[in-house]
Structure 1
Amino acid sequence: MKVKRIFIYGFILMNLFLMFLNHTTAIAKEEGIMEGFNASKAVAEEVNINAYVNMAHVFKNASEGREICLSLAKELGIQRKEIEDTSEKGNIQVILHGEKEQGTICVIVQSSEYEAVKETNIVIDMVYEGLVDVNTVGENIKAILKKYGKATVTSCITGSFNGKLNNAQKEKIVKNMMEYLEATEIEGLREKNMISIVGFSSKIKDYISYGGNQVNINIAMRYNAYEGKTYLWMATPLIAIGY
């Protein structure tokens, strides 16, 4: 399934949430999301991994933004690529779209300069078909982005079940995943065909402040009548793609 991507807006959303990022001594969040998803017994559809670096007090012009995109594309092993430049004076945005193995990659360089304020953000958004080792991919991206600064990585795994699961079945699956990670539900949304849970697991070392609470996992399920499947999304810390 081709899930609707949110590149710029997803990045902004995660940037706001992750400014309060904290750590514990538990397992890495990428390991936690893999373990939690495996506990669901869902069929893996795709994995979305998003990473970004914020460079405060730094401005890159369009030419420099293009060079960064091409350099990252080479390090990421992107095969076929195209570049889109929508830059304006004082507001640079260069986007590179490409393919790699079983997935697609988007590299974004955003840079702004207003009076004395300068800022540059670099985003890498990867979508893989099926299941990949989220932890390995995440660590590789962090290493590639290290020259620009410390990267923040967020991940979401999409899975599915054949047919329409009733509410009790969806609740049971989510409960099993939460129990496996020893997680507590912080906030929940339950509608006719959808359930979405935001929670906290002490087994996962990273968390954010959300509504005054510590959270680090987001699980959602929804039935897609057109495809005849019930989809499952599991992300850390929050789902940043359309579902």
Structure 2
Amino acid sequence: MKGKRLIVSIGLIAMLAFSNYTVSQGIRDNLSKPVVSAFKVSESELLQVRINARDQISQEYLKENEIKKVGQGLLDKFNIQGELEYENYQQDMLDENKPIYTMDFIEEEDQRKLIISGKDKNNSSVTIILLTYIDKYSNLNKTELIVDITSEKLEEYDKIQSNIKTIFNNMEMNPKINTCIVGTFDGDIENNEKIDIVSEIMVRVGAKKVEEYTQPDIISISAYSPNIDNHIYTGNNKMNLNIAMRHNYTEDKTYIWIATPIIDHGY
């Protein structure tokens, strides 16, 4: 239970920090270079590259047919492959040569959501969320687009990010982008060695520590680097690099997360 509370607390902190996201002036063309370089310094085995983007798509509360129409258009934009899954396609999901995507519509009070999940032409996992709702506090209508792309190839990092920016920009949106590279080491790494790895990463990207959180099996460092062209605020301090390491006892592996500007999911 204590471990679960820790993960929930970290997740809440990340959500609050990300809500105050601020983008520096200029285009973030060099954003990936220091992050990819940081991962290579760790010498860990790549698990996944994860890039998340979101922005408001309109100030309207869309009906079911409207939100599905928008979603249908996004299938081509993000190169979602295959056919829409139905119940009689369950067996076909086992056939790798016959890709399938899902589209789920969820309606709640003052909120409608369309979730599309599939794979693109590069075999990256893509989740698209269209969220339309009435803000009870401002009484304003909003529709947001949230895209999450995961790849197992480090070389796809630049391509995915560039493609996301292009798609959002063509829709006259300027997305908030959060990226995270996840790797693993065999066995349990001692905290002093974790600190050495994190320190070496920070030196490589020219980052200075802003905050630190440590426990017997986890270390999390928030830092700021002028070489990364985006940031959020934690208190009055800028931060744009979040590095965490934690041992997974079930797998007997030590995980490392390197994110900019922040790790936006539990670890």
Match of 1:217 in 2: 241
The answer to whether 1:81 aligns with 2:97 is no
Show structure 1 runs of 4+ deviating over 4 A. 9-15, 24-27
Equivalent position to 1:171, from 192, 195, 209: 195
Give the 5 Å matches for 1:1-243.
13=16, 16-18=19-21, 20-23=22-25, 28-55=30-57, 57-79=59-81, 80-88=100-108, 90-100=110-120, 101-113=122-134, 117-146=140-169, 147-243=171-267
CA shift in 2, pair 1:89/1:195, >3 Å: closer
Aligned length: 235
C-alpha distance in 2, partners of 1:128/1:206?
Answer: 22
5+ residue gaps, structure 2: 1-6, 82-99
Structure 1 residue identity aligned to 2:20: F
C-alpha distance in 2, partners of 1:138/1:14?
Answer: 21
CA shift in 2, pair 1:226/1:11, >3 Å: closer
> Cα offset for 1:113?
3.0
C-alpha distance in 1, partners of 2:118/2:13?
Answer: 19
C-alpha distance in 1, partners of 2:57/2:29?
Answer: 28
CA shift in 2, pair 1:67/1:34, >3 Å: same
State the percentage of identical aligned residues: 26
CA shift in 2, pair 1:11/1:160, >3 Å: closer
- TM-score normalised to structure 1 length: 0.88
5+ residue gaps, structure 1: none
- TM-score normalised to structure 2 length: 0.80
> Cα offset for 1:14?
6.5
C-alpha distance in 2, partners of 1:39/1:15?
Answer: 26
Structure 2 residue identity aligned to 1:123: I
Superposition CA RMSD, Å: 2.4
